[in-house]
Amino acid sequence: MNRLTVILFASFLLSACGGSEKGSDLTKLQAELTDLKKKKSSLDTEIRTLEAKIAQLDTAGARQASKLVSIDSVRVGVFEHYIDLQGKVEAEGMAYVAPAGMGGQVKAVYVKLGTPVSQGQLILKLDDAMAQQQLIAARQQSGQLKTRLVQAQTIYERYQNLWKQNIGAEIQVINAKADVDALAAQLRSVEAQVGMAQEQVNMTNVRAAIAGVIDEMNVKVGEFFSPQSAATPGAGIRIVNNSRLKVVTYVPDNYVTRVRKGDPIKVFVADNGQESFDSRIQVMSASINPNTRSFTVEAPLPSNPMLRANQSAVVKILDYKADNAISVPVNVVQSDEKGKYLFVAEQTKGTWMVRRRIVQPGQVYNGQQEIVGGLNAGDRIVTDGYQSLYDGQAIRMR
């Protein structure tokens, strides 16, 4: 048992010594690498300084050593940033045809797919045989009561005139007046039944709620048409009015602070023959959809024969605009540990060279980088051949 303990202790000491040696070697190598990096940085600086001095003294050699680049002058203009989203064209005027009552069997259809209709136009006719019978019966009863009421009114007036002449009994006048009142009440009730029966007949006439074009037609003679079937997708009649269109899109919730009602938008609809439609946000939902984590935005579209409901669209929402902005191609802006920079061409004593310019970037859109600090209008920036340049290098322009 003691011998095993001694062996384990010796193994532990050997392992510890080996780990210590490895740690010492790593620290030494890291220190050597740091020292070499410092020397390289110092040498790079000395090389650039000597190259700049040689270029000033040896113009012929400097021209041969100079790099061929392209430059462009910085200009001030409008910079715009858009949020690019997918949207859909929808019709403000869209309605499904439905019966006003419980529905019934279709007896006649007066329109077909593509038919223009006006508001209130008769679309189809439902079976009204039972409703017509009830209406006829109610009207007959009403006519009979009207005749009896006229007779009772005449009798009452006669008894009333005789009573004024002290002829007859007062009870006759009272009874005659009661008969008139009872018949009048019955007539009012029957006339209400006539109105209800007429309403039932009217409900068998299914009319267009809006003006437009029959965009969907899935009802045939002999079928049962009800409010339930009218609301079933692909089983009813749909009217679309393209005179009032809108585009609807869903904006991710991370843009909630950047999108406002009234913001300008551009709408691009494929294959419509026009570049874009300009509009402004008119409706914006007040809540975030918990499933999609987005909110709805709507904007009106002009009446255009090339626009159709349910067309796909690209919606660009303007969320940033700078009128007097400086922007450069995004690819000319480079990065290092000090930040963003680019190369600016300057002429010194007849020789062109580049200077490394630290810049403050802004928004990026459509291949352009906004520069909010570090550049001025008229500066000449290197737009081609900038990849291997260094500060102070001589250049030649294409």
Q: Delimit the domains of the chain by residue range.
A: 1-57, 59-79+323-397, 86-91+243-321, 94-217
Q: Is 3 exposed, middle or buried (0-12, 13-18, 19+ CB in 10 A)?
A: exposed
Q: With 50 as the cut, is the pLDDT of residue 6 above it?
A: no
> CATH number of 59-79+323-397: 3.30.1130.10, 2.40.420.20, 3.40.50.2000, 3.30.565.10?
2.40.420.20
pTM for this predicted structure: 0.61
Q: Look at residue 65 in the predicted model and tell me its pLDDT.
A: 59
Enumerate the β-bridge partners of residue 76.
Answer: 326
Would you say 163 and 170 are in contact if contact means Cβ atoms under 8 Å apart? yes
Q: Look at residue 156 in the predicted model and tell me its pLDDT.
A: 92
> DSSP string of 97-164?
E--SSS-EEEEEE---TT-EE-TT-EEEEE--HHHHHHHHHHHHHHHHHHHHHHHHHHHHHHHHHHHH
User: Using DSSP, how many helices (H) and how many strands (E) does the chain show?
Assistant: 5, 21
Q: CA-to-CA distance for 251 and 5, rounded, in angstroms?
A: 71
* For residues 304-333, average pLDDT: 91
Residues near 50 by beta carbon (within 8 Å), at least 6 away in sequence: none
The 10s digit of each residue's pLDDT in 83-117 is: 999 999 988 888 889 998 889 999 999 999 989 99
The 10s digit of each residue's pLDDT in 187-246 is: 999 999 999 999 999 999 999 999 989 989 999 999 999 999 888 878 889 998 888 899
Q: Look at residue 1 in the predicted model and tell me its pLDDT.
A: 44
Would you say 389 and 352 are in contact if contact means Cβ atoms under 8 Å apart? no
Q: With 80 as the cut, is the pLDDT of residue 27 above it?
A: yes
C-alpha distances (whole Å) from 395 to each of 65, 69, 326, 359 are 8, 7, 24, 21
Q: CA-to-CA distance for 123 and 381, rounded, in angstroms?
A: 70
Q: Look at residue 14 in the predicted model and tell me its pLDDT.
A: 43
Percent of the chain clearing pLDDT 90 (strictly above):
62
Q: Look at residue 243 in the predicted model and tell me its pLDDT.
A: 81
Would you say 338 and 331 are in contact if contact means Cβ atoms under 8 Å apart? no
Q: With 60 as the cut, is the pLDDT of residue 8 above it?
A: no
Percent of the chain clearing pLDDT 70 (strictly above):
88
Q: Look at residue 237 in the predicted model and tell me its pLDDT.
A: 92
Q: Look at residue 305 in the predicted model and tell me its pLDDT.
A: 79
* For residues 342-366, average pLDDT: 92
CATH architecture of the domain 86-91+243-321 equals: Beta Barrel (2.40)
Q: Who wins on pLDDT, 272 or 8?
A: 272
Enumerate the β-bridge partners of residue 125.
Answer: 108, 205
* For residues 118-125, average pLDDT: 94
Assign 359 to helix, strand or coil: coil
Q: Look at residue 56 in the predicted model and tell me its pLDDT.
A: 59
Q: CA-to-CA distance for 102 and 230, rounded, in angstroms?
A: 11
The 10s digit of each residue's pLDDT in 357-381 is: 999 999 999 999 999 999 999 999 9
Q: Would you say the CATH fold of 86-91+243-321 matches that of 59-79+323-397? A: no
The one-letter amino acid code at 250 reads: Y
Q: Look at residue 52 in the predicted model and tell me its pLDDT.
A: 59
